[in-house]
Amino acid sequence: MAQSNLTDFNTNTNSIVYLRILTSLTFLIMLCCLILFLARLGTWFAYAQPESISQSSDLWRALWTGFRFDLAILIRLAILGILVSIVCIPLPFPLAKIIWVLNYLLGGLIITLVIWLAMANFSYIGFFNRPIDSFAFSGMNYGAETIWPTVTSIEAFELRVALCIVVTWVSFWLCLRVTKRVTSLIKTIKMGKLSFITFAIFIPLMIMSILGRGTVSTFPLSYRHLVVSSEAAINNLVPNGIVALYYGYKEFKESKRIEPATESEGRKLFQAFYGYPATDDELFPQFFTHTKQSKFLEDNPPHVVLNLVESMANTLLTTDFSGDVNLAGELQKHLKDDYYFKRFLPAHDDTQKSLVSLLVNTEYSAISHSRHQTVPLKTSAARIFKNAGYRTVFVYAGFEGLSNRSNYFKTQGFDVFIGAHQLTDLYPAMQPSVWGGEDQFVFDEVYKHLTNSVEGNQPLFIVTLTVTNHPPYTLPLQETLTLPKKPQQLLARLQDLPEESLDTYLYTNDQLGQFISRIKDSSLKQKTIIAVTGDHAIRGMRFNDEERLHEISVPFYLYIPQNYKSSFIPDTHQIASHKDIMPTLYNTALSQVAYPNLGRNLLDPTTKDSVHNFASHADYLVYNDKAYRKNNEVLLAGKIVKPNFMLTKDQSTEPKELDHARFYSPVLQWLTRFQLLEPSS
């Protein structure tokens, strides 16, 4: 009886065809992976490689990551045919021919896509020095009559087409040969029903589900994994043609539709925001102002280090919320000794949005991975420092590919971008995490850059962005700093946050504090300006309506060497926001330099008639101790802000003086549109 069941099962036509499909597609995937590997090697040897990294581990990382992408995308393309054949196995009537034809066509499509898109990607890199991206889709607007002559003008175009034809023919021939061999072998296999389900269906599906994700970690392969180095030549090797085309199309779809910035619109916004009309001269430069001329700054330009700290909520630095526990670590003493603005708001509640708002003066958060990602902006903070003679450096604890930050910020004026992959090579002791590396090594790298900058060399403008204080809140393994017993009043606020979030918050603050101490204990103390703020506040804590500004607030800390301080004592109790950070740094460090007139110098006396006397957050405008909630572009009735930054329940009507502040966001948008697109009259 058992033998009869075994025989009946093995003679089931649908099950035999399934095995043929499984083995044939497995061979096809292996063949395509080989083709894509050869395409990467061809790209590496065909185009210029930086000599300094030709032997770098970045190259091997790119090849390995690319192989993972290859496996993942090929399995995702092939899985449909396998699943259809599995569904057909128990059916009482034979569907062998139909199943086989469908999978035969699917396999042919996969081979064709792999080969021809590999060549397209190879050619695209050679022309644009980057893989296929959103521009390939936006360029379609030029029409076939323009695109086709451009494509055919590529060097050795006919040879490339011929090579694709030959490789495609050889691949089909190999697949047919293997299929015939597989068919003859399968007929000899004897397998019981349980063994068939286990070894032919369950285990292969499990393997494919893992390989199809590209990783066994928390997050599957995604856009952020495409960048493994600060060198474009290395990163160009990672995506195959299919992956590059997919993300290029995704970028194209995600890019906001940006209309050209008209002259008339710009002039209306200028007058509405600044309160006086623009002159008849060119409009764009009139949105800029200048720092004062200073012979001292010209002769003694200071280093400037801006630290953007992940989820650095100001509430956790105050005893009203955290109790007596010290969550600042070594940073606490510096908060007491230097300028510390406690009533301070970030631009947004999102890292990417705050980052581009602060460093580029734009509200288009997708700009770094949109079709406009290669357009340099004059409103970029790094470019302003670079034009003033500074060497610009970005040190990021996260992965370079996230939101295409490495490539984008280098386009915006940063000479060097160092991310988690480079930090791992520089500091082998650093333990990688889901989001990148350990914050400690960010500050170690910054200190190294500062100490290596000898007298007379270029001054440095350095920006850092940390990641340790980010979900899943994992402390470095070697970290020994622990919190004492956490106050109950603080634990009661941890609505969606694990207690570990307090440990990582303390860790980053303590590492930052140690870095500042190292600066102050060295000769760098007299020539280094240090600024610290949060990208956004911590999320997931419990706040009531009166505490809404505390819920979104971040600190702004500023250390200025004695020689660079003015005699004026600034009001650190004033309400300000991210838009005021760069103007403060420009005016403290640079002499007679043009910068976007979009914020105020917090170290100057505050005058009531200043156009910048408001704080801006994505959800709030705060003016004259009144907070107005935003509802898209509409301001709701304001609430009075008490000295402790709490909101009263009393509502306040919108003052006429706030009219200009509502135009802050439209001005930012106009400036971005003006720079990204050809302006129209």
Give pLDDT tens digits for 255-312. 667 888 999 999 999 999 999 999 999 999 999 999 999 999 999 999 999 999 999 9
Of these ranges, 61-75, 92-106, 209-223, the one predicted with the greatest mean pLDDT is 61-75
The pLDDT of residue 226 is 84
What's the confidence (pLDDT) of residue 303?
97
**Strand (E) or helix (H) holding 15:** helix 13-46
Structure tokens at 265: 């619109």
Residue 516 tokens, joined: 């500042």
For residue range 138-178, what is the model confidence (pLDDT) as tens digits? Answer: 666 555 655 776 677 677 888 999 999 999 999 999 988 88
Q: What was the pLDDT predicted at 445?
A: 97
Q: For position 510, what pLDDT does the model report?
A: 96
Read off the pLDDT band of 109 (50, 70, 90).
Answer: very high
What is the sign, positive or negative, of the torsion defined by CA atoms of 576, 580, 585, 588?
Answer: negative
226 DSSP assignment: G
CA distance 266 to 303: 35
Among the listed residues 424, 435, 402, the one whose alpha carbon sits nearest the alpha carbon of residue 504: 435
CA dihedral 418, 419, 422, 424 (to 10 degrees): 140
CB-based burial label for 48 (10 Å; 0-12, 13-18, 19+): exposed
pLDDT in tens, 458-481: 999 999 999 999 888 888 887 777
Mean pLDDT, residues 194-209: 72
Position 175 scores a pLDDT of 87
Res. 118: pLDDT tops 60: yes
Does residue 608 have a pLDDT over 80? Answer: no
Instruction: Give percent of the chain with pLDDT exceeding 90.
Output: 49
What pLDDT does residue 492 have?
Answer: 84
pLDDT digits (tens, 9 = 90+) for 208-223: 777 777 776 666 778 7
**Confidence (pLDDT) at 253:** 77
Query: In this model, does residue 512 exceed pLDDT 60?
Result: yes
In three-state form (DSSP H/G/I as H, E/B as E, the rest C), the secondary structure along 32-60 is HHHHHHHHHHHHHHHCCCCHHHCCCHHHH
What confidence score (pLDDT) does residue 192 get?
61
Does 7 or 189 have the greater pLDDT score?
189
Arithmetic mean of pLDDT, 173-201: 73
pTM score, whole prediction: 0.79
- At residue 136, the pLDDT reads 81
Residues 150 and 129: their CA atoms lie apart, in Å, by 16
pLDDT in tens, 248-261: 888 777 766 788 89
Are the beta carbons of 313 and 285 closer than 8 angstroms?
Answer: no
Asked whether residue 7 carries a pLDDT value surpassing 50, the answer given is no
Cβ–Cβ under 8 Å, residues 541 and 363? no
CB neighbour class for 338 (10 Å; exposed up to 12, middle 13-18, buried from 19): middle
What is the CA 55 to chain-centroid distance, rounded? Answer: 27
Q: In the prediction, which pLDDT does 322 show?
A: 85
Confidence of residue 386 (pLDDT cuts 50, 70, 90): very high
Domains of the chain: 2-246 (no CATH), 300-561 (3.40.720.10)
Distance CA 174, CA 169 (A): 9
Query: How confident is the model over 417-449, as pLDDT tens digits?
Result: 999 999 999 999 998 888 889 999 999 999 999
Residue 150's pLDDT is: 65
Predicted local confidence at residue 384, as pLDDT: 98
Q: pLDDT value at position 2?
A: 40
The pLDDT of residue 10 is 46
pLDDT at 497 over 80: no
623-646 mean pLDDT = 81
* pLDDT band for position 681 (cuts 50, 70, 90): very low
Higher per-residue pLDDT: 161 or 95: 161
Alpha-carbon torsion (664, 666, 667, 672), positive or negative: positive
Task: State mean pLDDT over 6-16.
Answer: 55
Q: What is the pLDDT of residue 14?
A: 65
- In this prediction, residues 558-585 reach a mean pLDDT of 95
The mean pLDDT value of the chain amounts to 86
Residue 273, pLDDT score: 95
Mean pLDDT to the nearest integer, 524-533: 97
- How many CB atoms lie under 10 A from the CB of residue 547? 20
Residue 25 has pLDDT above 50, yes or no: yes
